[in-house]
Structure 1
């Protein structure tokens, strides 16, 4: 049943893409991405920060085996989504010196590993706060108008797909390890704070012309290998308290998206649920062709992430990541990203058509 459903969706997508001169045309004029390490394609390469992934073994399963700055052995879920939408390659990092000219016509990536909804999270790691990412988007609009002309630029801005992926860093890299936050706010109160920032972010993007916005849910934070190591108290299973925090946040996110839809009738906005497919991979990996879901491929897979811990000298890195749910102790492998991206196909088609 699920296979047939997937095939029908792929066929529908093929028909929607259409052709022009024998070449498939993208469903949207551009993809623009904001958020954290789950969608950063290399912006942090140009920042003075320890949160980097431009070093082997990151990127080892790309065709050219180059570490681009993606926190993965290969493609991110957003890379796969962009390809599905008809783009041959995903937009380069916006801060890259090469990110200019015609690259503006396929979108830009403003994401920064270590960032989140809460600006203080990014400041802790010298990353790009979400508020600054919006400022870069304003600059992008001006550059786009210079390249494409005001009319076409406005059409691109209105028709593009906007992806927001944040929140996980706010919890894992800030709230859970920050005594000030943890002792002065409950996880529920912190969620309310983040949701308020999310709502304001969408409102600002809408005001700047965005009309198609996809926002990712939180993953099951308690199932990340690093979370199990740091907060599992010796257990090899997911940390239920952290998963409950994710579920609570996601419930608030869904309610806020419904409210924003009512507030802005011409806005198409949807929650991309990554919690469910990733939890399924972790709890029943064998049923989907995976063999390891409790630790990452890089090093011991228990705490390794960023070049400080995941690098060519990391002892124990697996030779083949295709059966690992996680690449490092925080981020999914390319194989898992493919499963996640496939699960979002139906919602994605609804958003861009």
Structure 2
């Protein structure tokens, strides 16, 4: 993060602090949809192998316990909730915490290995976005019972909706699935994802969402697992994968602008994850990191989910020195930087 960016972020945080009066958050609630980057425990309640409810996941989180977050600590969405003035996080919808007054601050419907492409979630027994929307409908009925119809309507229209998807569609499906990569070019596959994205946003809008922040794809080619599997014995980011991500992100930007122009009252912001993470990976020392190629967990070359466990040999002692926690997911320290970038780019969703 440059000096000007740092000063702007500090200023915005100061402004937000001034607005957060008497412990009141800046928006009524926060709703989160998507994949493992924002899953806070929904996959714990599924029959999937894609879980993070065991050590060393969560070792730097509250009480040093795993929650289902694919990280050593907080996610970027956790920091975002804090930046918005929330003192607790929206509960994972499938957990026991998702009831009563806990639902007044929103809910998290995300599921590790989900994506815009319906089949990606089905491959891993995750919750597809279509089902996440069904849970949101169910949530709305519960909210009316808790807050009353008028208050529920105000909460739904005034809240922020975060969407994070697409990475699993490429990294955990397209690139390793000959049924896809032999049939579709990356450009054609991204078009399919964009069509699903449009339908998802339209459906979310139809359910009352008006302030939506959607994250871009990260530099997929810089994920440790991607370099290990597809880097041809190089320690450099896989250029082709990053080009695919940039191409998708360009389509996401154009499509989102079109949706905002078409849907009355919709405010949609594309939150760039690509450039901030790419900057960190390519210049780790300048961003306070020691290691960008290897992740903290195990060998740091491939491990994620069940491969990253308490017996993983070589797991680092200090995750804050590492850009990545496991082969696919950023460390808490990286998530903090990404969340501050989200704050500056998504401020228009608040005011």
Q: TM-score, normalised by structure 2?
A: 0.98
CA deviation string 1:21-51 (max 9, x = no partner) = xx23111100000000000000000000100
Give the alignment partner of residue 344 of structure 2, picking from 343, 346, 351: 346
- Cα distance in 2 between the residues matched to 1:292 and 1:89: 31
Is 1:141 the counterpart of 2:140? The answer is yes
Q: Map 1:21-32 to 2 at 5 A.
A: 23-32=22-31
- Cα distance in 2 between the residues matched to 1:2 and 1:110: 31
Q: Displacement of 1:220 after TM fit?
A: 0.1
Kindly indicate whether the alpha-carbon contact (under 8 Å) linking 1:58 and 1:73 is maintained by their aligned counterparts in 2.
yes
CA deviation string 1:69-103 (max 9, x = no partner) = 00000000000000110101111210012310011
CA deviation string 1:122-175 (max 9, x = no partner) = 000001011000000000000000110001000000011001100000000000
Is 1:77 the counterpart of 2:76? The answer is yes
Give the alignment partner of residue 318 of structure 1, picking from 313, 316, 319: 316
Question: How many aligned residue pairs are there?
Answer: 348
Secondary structure of 1:33's aligned partner: strand
Structure 1 match to 2:332: 334
Structure 1 match to 2:97: 98
Distance 1:292 1:283, change over 3 A: same
- Cα distance in 2 between the residues matched to 1:286 and 1:92: 35
Q: TM-score, normalised by structure 1?
A: 0.97
Structure 2 match to 1:14: 17
Q: Displacement of 1:118 after TM fit?
A: 0.7
Secondary structure of 2:64's aligned partner: coil
Q: Displacement of 1:241 after TM fit?
A: 0.1
Secondary structure of 2:320's aligned partner: coil
Kindly indicate whether the alpha-carbon contact (under 8 Å) linking 2:44 and 2:68 is maintained by their aligned counterparts in 1.
yes
Q: Displacement of 1:347 after TM fit?
A: 2.0
- Cα distance in 2 between the residues matched to 1:30 and 1:141: 12
Kindly indicate whether the alpha-carbon contact (under 8 Å) linking 2:32 and 2:162 is maintained by their aligned counterparts in 1.
yes
Structure 2, unaligned stretches of length 5 or more?
none
CA deviation string 1:194-219 (max 9, x = no partner) = 01110111101111100000000000
Kindly indicate whether the alpha-carbon contact (under 8 Å) linking 1:326 and 1:333 is maintained by their aligned counterparts in 2.
yes
- Cα distance in 2 between the residues matched to 1:292 and 1:259: 40
**After the TM superposition, which parts of structure 1 deviate over 6 Å for at least 4 consecutive aligned residues?**
none
Secondary structure of 2:196's aligned partner: helix
Secondary structure of 1:328's aligned partner: coil
- Cα distance in 2 between the residues matched to 1:137 and 1:209: 11
Q: Displacement of 1:6 after TM fit?
A: 2.2
Kindly indicate whether the alpha-carbon contact (under 8 Å) linking 2:110 and 2:132 is maintained by their aligned counterparts in 1.
yes
Structure 1 match to 2:58: 59
Query: Cα RMSD (Å) of the superposition?
Result: 0.8
Q: Displacement of 1:285 after TM fit?
A: 0.4
- Cα distance in 2 between the residues matched to 1:239 and 1:272: 23
Structure 1 match to 2:305: 306
CA deviation string 1:299-325 (max 9, x = no partner) = 001110002x10011000001000100
Kindly indicate whether the alpha-carbon contact (under 8 Å) linking 1:58 and 1:71 is maintained by their aligned counterparts in 2.
yes
Is 1:225 the counterpart of 2:224? The answer is yes
Kindly indicate whether the alpha-carbon contact (under 8 Å) linking 1:13 and 1:349 is maintained by their aligned counterparts in 2.
no
Q: Displacement of 1:4 after TM fit?
A: 2.3
Secondary structure of 1:344's aligned partner: helix
- Cα distance in 1 between the residues matched to 2:23 and 2:155: 18
Q: Map 1:155-166 to 2 at 5 A.
A: 155-166=154-165
Structure 1, unaligned stretches of length 5 or more?
none
Secondary structure of 1:270's aligned partner: strand
Structure 1 match to 2:281: 282
